[in-house]
Structure 1
């Protein structure tokens, strides 16, 4: 069946001698859950990432909208580079986090709106999110509120996501994170490969495609990526194949 959104084929096998791999977390490595704190992280995930990083000579990084402390908790066995908060904070890059003024006040406003509207509020180390999965009829109102909040707090900007809207530090982006990472060892000189599922990942998928590599879209939706896999289970199987491992078993 033809895919109306561009990407139709599964990605090629990773070339561990020349690829640099960048992976989103939610919706890519782990399945989306009704609440951000309800995800299930497969027991083998950190071990597979460590083994794959070794095959790639260290050229593997997690690039996520999650807060960095959360990523470090969920992937506690993986000690490679991580980028959190859509590029605003990192581990292994020796960069200071982007911390705009007004963070506490912004978070208080978003928390109050969520409480009033019955939405799920997600505090982040450098921003905040509003999830309307349980109340999809409030999408437009929630996005309009976030846009007004960004005007009052100019150090932040709106980031749309799956059934959610976030306020992130202005200037932070996943494609910007890829650009910085690929100038550094051990990523420099390798082919960038990025996998992600959300609209927040599209700039990074497009960046990889434009810089001699390729993107892997996870799940349905329009995409700049050339390749597509159906869900996180297929991504995990693809990663495990690259280390010569057995079929993923959870």
Structure 2
């Protein structure tokens, strides 16, 4: 349920203890600025270093939860090798390196990809991105085509069972399976080093709302990056501001805690 998030600056960071918190982060629009093409994004070295510092302080309890495949996250965050839930939870790598993935029949996705490419051929500036278990249609260069793109996506799916249509920022993704980011957080929270910790999830898009609600149910902390209605408890203006907040959090965790 949408509410009125508090500014992230109002969160008392002293209540966040490195031995008691697990951090879950979306990627695009959270760690990386949104770009016109999915391959055009980047994460500054300074931010990758901050993520590494946080992972060390939290004994590995820092995970990426994203619509991208695990392989792409590894490439963008190299040399880091964090726990990752990719393709909205359809594939996952735990802190120990163990991997799991949903079984997907890709034949229907092949047909949908072909249909979306026909839309691409008719409209300049459309980008089609095929993943192992989904197909994404990016219209960031043609925002006026949002309604036409969604209509085409629904016609391509045409009531097929076992497929979801997800709408994000200037992207429509047709995904196999029922898993979402909330399921990914739940799975991580059953495993070490996340089990028993307070969950913190940060994201920027509609596809992050399931995770915000799950984290709220667990009594955790949810952070929305940017504008728009949200169920998150806190909000921060943009990617740059959130990167800076993460850097400050890493500093906090590396400062010896005073004991009473």
Q: TM-score, normalised by structure 2?
A: 0.87
RMSD: 1.8
Is 2:141 the partner of 1:134?
A: yes
Is 2:105 the partner of 1:100?
A: yes
Is 2:185 the partner of 1:183?
A: no
Distance 1:87 1:105 in 2: 23
Number of positions where the alignment pairs a residue of Structure 1 with one of Structure 2? 242
Distance 1:9 1:48 in 2: 22
Distance 1:203 1:157 in 2: 14
Please identify, of 129-138 and 17-26, the stretch whose mean Cα deviation from structure 2 is larger: 129-138
* CA deviation string 1:155-186 (max 9, x = no partner): 32101101111111221200110111111111
| Poorly superposed stretches of 4+, deviation over 6 Å | none
* CA deviation string 1:94-113 (max 9, x = no partner): 31244233232222222222
Q: Post-superposition shift, 1:220?
A: 0.6
Is 2:53 the partner of 1:51?
A: yes
Q: Which of residues 178, 189, 200 is equivalent to 1:171?
A: 178
For structure 2, list consecutive stretches of 5 or more residues without a partner in the other structure: 253-260
Is 2:214 the partner of 1:212?
A: no
Q: Which of residues 88, 110, 117 is equivalent to 1:111?
A: 117
Distance 1:135 1:5 in 2: 31
Q: Post-superposition shift, 1:152?
A: 5.5
For structure 1, list consecutive stretches of 5 or more residues without a partner in the other structure: 246-250
Distance 1:161 1:239 in 2: 24
Distance 1:144 1:98 in 2: 28
Distance 1:6 1:191 in 2: 22
Distance 2:12 2:246 in 1: 11
Partner residue in 2 for 1:20: 22
